[in-house]
Amino acid sequence: MKIVFWGVRGSTPAPLTKEQVQAKIIAAVMRVQSKDIVSPDARERFLASLPEYIFGTAGANTPCVQLVAKDGGQIIFDAGTGLRVMSKKSPQPEDHHYSILFSHLHWDHIQGFPFFDPLFEPNTKIDIYSPFPDTDKYFASQMKAPYFPVEFDSIKDRVNFISIQPGKEFNIGNVRLNCCKMSHPGGSYAYCAVEDKKKFVYATDVELYLDTHKYGNDVEAIFADADAAVLDSQYTMKEAIDKIKWGHSPFSYAVDFAAQMGITKIFLFHHEPEHDDKKLDAILKAARWYAKFIVQTAVKVDLAVEGTEIDL
């Protein structure tokens, strides 16, 4: 399976500000030496040598993660504003069929749905999987006037709502899926997807516990021995202490949790809107240091960055 990040930001879109762009330019200019501008090749090498937080960006869109199965099937986790970008840049499946799974129905996880281009093409079919009752009513509501100019009734024939139960496995093509409820205001669900013995977990908007004894067998069944996991890590520890019960986790808890669950690699996700790229880079370095020297785990830690593709 292939995993693609289209939206990685939490709570609200956070596009780069003028000040942040200027800071990147200044940081790049401060690194230039005379040898870096003597030829086009030298300039190319210089740009390639810049840290990712200067030359790139983690992204500004709210959650949307795409799973492309070996048979070409499209499974999408959440429909934040990243879904709009996905519809512009990702090739459509040959059968024009999409499956969308929702962690929960907070605004930042559904707000991209009305801007999903294939939704307005007559040959598109979309299956929406959700453990929440009345999901269809909530989606219809967000497309009512005066919130949106196109009523849900005009596209409802292309959308099929499927109710799922935590702990009860289901299949989409050859991908086996399951979910469990996690700690978040109003509830949120983590998903695991298994294909050809490779296991991927999507767990955003989760307030993780440091003590894994608080988790039941249902949680362990979803997370245990995953090859890769997307984990909510919106806060630093100081921010998490100030925001207990807000439903998000510090990056250190994500590392601890991954080590205890035997996860091979984690991607820090649902980035705080107030964290710029330099701050996110510092968080990544701190998380890797924490994993190596404090937890002393082999868990690999990376940052969820829009446009990144992962092959499992």
pLDDT given at position 210: 77
pLDDT given at position 166: 97
pLDDT given at position 80: 98
pLDDT given at position 282: 98
pLDDT greater than 80 at residue 13: yes
Task: Locate 235 and state its tokens.
Answer: 């806060």
pLDDT greater than 90 at residue 122: yes
**Mean pLDDT, to the nearest integer, of 222-234?**
98
pTM for the predicted model, two decimal places: 0.96
Q: Which residue's entry shows tokens 């092959």? A: 311
Q: Look over the chain and give the mean of its residue pLDDT values, rounded to a whole number.
A: 96
| One-letter amino acid for residue 298 of the chain | A
Whether the CB-CB separation of 223 and 261 falls below 8 Å is answered with yes
164-200 pLDDT, tens digit each: 999 999 999 999 999 999 999 999 999 999 999 999 9
Say how many C-beta atoms besides its own lie within 10 A of residue 206's C-beta: 26
| One-letter amino acid for residue 145 of the chain | A
Q: Which residue's entry shows tokens 């296991």? A: 199
**Mean pLDDT, to the nearest integer, of 286-300?**
97
Whether the CB-CB separation of 275 and 29 falls below 8 Å is answered with no
190-226 pLDDT, tens digit each: 999 999 999 999 999 999 987 767 888 999 999 999 9
pLDDT given at position 127: 98
SS3 of 263, please?
Answer: coil
Task: Locate 17 and state its tokens.
Answer: 């500000």
